[in-house]
Each structure stands twice: as structure tokens, then as C-alpha cells.
Homo-oligomer: A and B are copies of this chain.
């Protein structure tokens, strides 16, 4: 397996990030980690429906009774997994923010590159559509996911504000939202094993350029409130 394949394909423990439960023993924490990892693996490989308590337990080589000890209800498990997944993405975004000594344009390019690269990973391609469908009927998931997106847009808004000091915060936010949404949309077309996966380089070139152009050229009064 090449490095590239590994990068886009495999799910590793590092794909999840979560703090030890306060007051829990070390072993319990390890077990929780194992459970969440198995759950993510199932979610990625076989979809949300396959992430049942039984299958997660089986994937951990653990009995159902023990799983329910650590996560009494399925909702508990789902939310813990959501937290862990989101936390793992926040690690990524914090990396971008701390990129000093860059022109805003270059910073934006790096941002897009990183996001679009992530979109092509198996994990992101598989997890996010599941989350999107969940957001339609679960307000809790809706909140958490958009909280994540808000954090993801923060560095973007900062870049835009630097490029266009004449725009107000709401206008910068709208531009950042457009850019973020635009890239998310590519998941479906050029994500992992999607029909236009090989066209991602073209999409990235077009997108990056379109984003810089629109930020540079749009007039403040052309953005409705």
C-alpha cells in the first residue's frame, strides 16, 4: 500500500481525538477508545445503519452487555463518536490558523489544498454525507456539525478580512460560507471512490482561482444582507 493510498484510505486511531472521561479509570478510557474506533470503522465501511450496538461490540471482540456498560444507549455512543470525530477535525484546523508569514492569497491556497485533500480521504467522504443526512432530522447533530463548520470558517474569514478590509464582518462571513460550501459540495463528486475523484486537481485549480478572484473583485454592495 502506497503512502498516498494510506493517506486517503485508512482509518487510524489518530483519526479520533477525545479526552479521558473525568473520574474514569485508565482501562475504561482505553475501552471507550476502542469502541469509538470500531464504531467509526463501521460507519465508514458500511454506513450509519451498520453501526449498531451489536456490530460495534462484535467488532471490538466484546460482549453487548459490556458495550452498554460504557455507552448505555446508542445515542450516547453516537454523540460520543460525533464529539470525537469533530475534535479530530479541529486538530486539523488549528494547524492552518497558525500559519504566519504568508500572504493572504497563499494562505487561502494552502487552506483549500488542505480541505480538498481531506475531502478525498475515505473517512471524510464517508462520514460527512452520513452527518449531513443526520442533520436533517436530528437538531443535536445539526448544531454540532455547524459548530464544526463555523470553526472551520474562522481562519477563512480572517484571510478574507485581510484581503478585503473594506468589507464588514457579515460580508466576509458570506464569502467564507460560499467558499466552504463550494468545497464541501465536491465531496459528492470527487471524494473517495467518486466518479470524478481523478478530476480533483482540475477542481482544485479552478476553485482556488475562483475563490481568490471573487474575494478580490466583488463589490461590497453586490452582497445582499
Contacts of A209 in B (CB 8 A): 214, 217-218, 222
Is the CB–CB distance between B213 and A225 below 8 Å? no
Nearest-Cβ distance from residue A50 to partner chain B, whole angstroms:
8
Q: Contacts A184-B188, A186-B181, A205-B223; is A125 near B129 (CB within 8 Å)?
A: no
Interface residues of A (CB under 8 A from B): 46-49, 125-126, 129-130, 132-133, 135-137, 142, 146, 149, 174-175, 177-178, 180-190, 194-196, 199, 201-203, 205-207, 209-211, 213-214, 217-218, 222-225
What are the 10 tightest A-B residue pairs by CB atom distance, in nearest-first order?
A185-B185, A182-B182, A210-B214, A181-B185, A129-B132, A129-B133, A184-B185, A174-B202, A201-B224, A133-B133
A-side interface mostly: helix
Contacts of A184 in B (CB 8 A): 185, 188-189
